Structures are given as structure tokens and as C-alpha cells.
Amino acid sequence: MSDDRYSKLDQLGSDSFAAATPEDARLERVENPATDADYLIRFTCPEFTSICPVTGQPDFAHIVIDYAPQRWIVESKSLKLYLQSFRNHGAFHEACTMMIGQRLVDELAPKWLRIGGYWYPRGGIPIDIFGQWGEAPAGLWIPDQGVQPYRGRG
């Protein structure tokens, strides 16, 4: 990439691997190419995994991140690697979901961000976690996150 705007993107276009922990993972960002209008960016991770801090068993979730950017947007490969860094991270559903949202807010300073963590059952009970930072810009089209409530085999 010869464009100076992208000179600090070390992960995109190179062999990159998920960090051992979310704290060690690097999120990369680029300047928002469309600052003249409010718009929504959505990332969906339907196969998110982390580890139960008590049992050491894997936990699975469908994560949906929506945000209205301000100056920065997240580079998608770095986000993918960040989310993969949770695979061996031991934390409760609430901590994982809110940690992801807060990290994106800290790195990007968006106008608005929401996260939905739709967790598969643990102990027979599905747990859904929702977080929001800021107010959605007036007139911003915000579609439903599209994740159905857990129904089991019904």
C-alpha cells in the first residue's frame, strides 16, 4: 500500500495472528472516508468464542456491533483478530461483551455505538447482553440486529 493514510496498518495485507489475550490485541483504525454524512457500520461475528472463567469450558455467542463513526473507522481484519483473541480468555458473558464495546469506543471515539451479545445457553439459560455508548444521530437508519431469540430445538 503506497498511500500514506494506510502506512500504519501492519496487519492488513500481511500474515497476522490473533494475540494471546484481548489486552495484547491491536485494533487498527483508518480515517472515516465519509465524514459529511451520518451512517451506520455493522460487524457481525456469529461464531464468537471465549472461555468460562469457572469451568474452563468454551462459551459461544453471536456478536453484533453497530456504530456511527466520527473521525475513525476500525480496520476489519484487526477487529477479526481482536475478536479471535477471546478464544482463550476466561470471563463471564457480560464482561466479554462490554469489554469489546468499551475497547471500540476507546479506540474510535464514535458518535454512537451499540453491541449485542447473543450468548448460547450456559446451564440451560441463554444470556443476551446489550450495551450502548452515546446517542444515535438523529435520522440515522438503525436496522434491527436480526438475531432471533434462542429457541433450542423448538
- CA–CA distance, 47 with 58 (Å, rounded to integer): 12
Distance of CA 140 to the CA centre of its chain: 20
Lookup: cell for 102: 468499551
H/E segment holding residue 119: strand 112-122
The catalytically annotated residue of 52, 106, 128, 144 is: 52
Task: Assess whether 59 carries a catalytic annotation.
Answer: yes
The catalytically annotated residue of 45, 59, 66, 96 is: 59
Task: Assess whether 45 carries a catalytic annotation.
Answer: no
The label of the residue with cell 482463550 reads 88
Query: Which sequence positions are flagged as catalytic?
Result: 52, 59
